[in-house]
Amino acid sequence: MNDMAEQRYLKLTVAYDGTAYHGFQRQANAITVQQVLEERLATIFGHPLKVTGAARTDAGVHAYGQVVGFATSGTIPAANIVRAAKSVLPPDIVVVKAEEVSADFHARFSARSKIYLYRIYNAAVADPFRRNYAWHVTQPLDEAAMDTAVQTVVGTHDFSAFRAAGGPPVSPVRTIYEAGCTREGDMLEFRFWGNGFLYHMVRNLVGTLVDVGLGRLTRDGFTRILAGRDRTRAGITAPPQGLYLKEIFY
């Protein structure tokens, strides 16, 4: 970057199909969304880029509204970035919005809340066209029971029971503003809106809620798992392809 040029700070909203990528965050020996963004966008800004993402989505996870921020000395107007990015990015990564922000904006630390969706394809026979975009569960699921159980996570709780090992050393206390489960035909969708999420928290919640939907666990049993703060008592980690980062609020 030319230090003599005036720096600008940009915020991009990015959608991507995570199927082909080993998550968002750059890795040494695997292709990630961050790497592709940095390498391809550098060609339109005229210098190497280092972007910061709001969420470090895992391999196979998708996003409607990932947010990245970066400093640039490039002069391309924000209004032209969406069109220019389309010409250099692969079709499974799309910049959907670009705007200038102040120097104190941080994609991750400035975020106030996020919405995640999780989709389950609930049918006896697999659908090859949904295999990368939903968790296929063959046994019938009771969405009403799961919706009733998931309401118990609304509010401020210690989510240690749904926290995977390997995440950053942060407080397990999070506030969930809304949560629910709905069905449309064979597709089930969970929605979680909260001020923050622990490593694999949504996938671990869904894995446990599926036990409720299968009749293996009651609503009260789910509530006791939440209160118990013991990951070994909760269900499996739902697979990544059903998870979507929907929106981030600042």
pLDDT tens readout for residues 65-86: 999 999 999 999 999 999 999 9
pLDDT at 220 over 50: yes
Per-residue confidence (pLDDT) for residue 2, from 0 to 100: 47
Q: Please provide the average confidence, as pLDDT, over all residues in the chain.
A: 96
Neighbours of 55 (CB within 10 A): 21
Rounded Cα distance between 220 and 223, Å, is 5
Annotation: binding site for substrate: 116
For residue 4, what pLDDT is reported?
52
CA distances from 220 to 142, 158, 185, 198 (A): 16, 17, 27, 23
Confidence (pTM)? 0.94
pLDDT tens, 168-214? 789 999 999 999 999 999 999 999 999 999 999 999 999 999 999 99
Domains along the sequence of the chain with CATH: 8-101 (3.30.70.580), 113-249 (3.30.70.660)
Nearest-angstrom CA–CA distance, 141 and 134: 15
What's the pLDDT at 5? Answer: 62
Average pLDDT for residues 2-19, to the nearest whole number? 87
Q: Residue ranges for the binding site?
A: 116
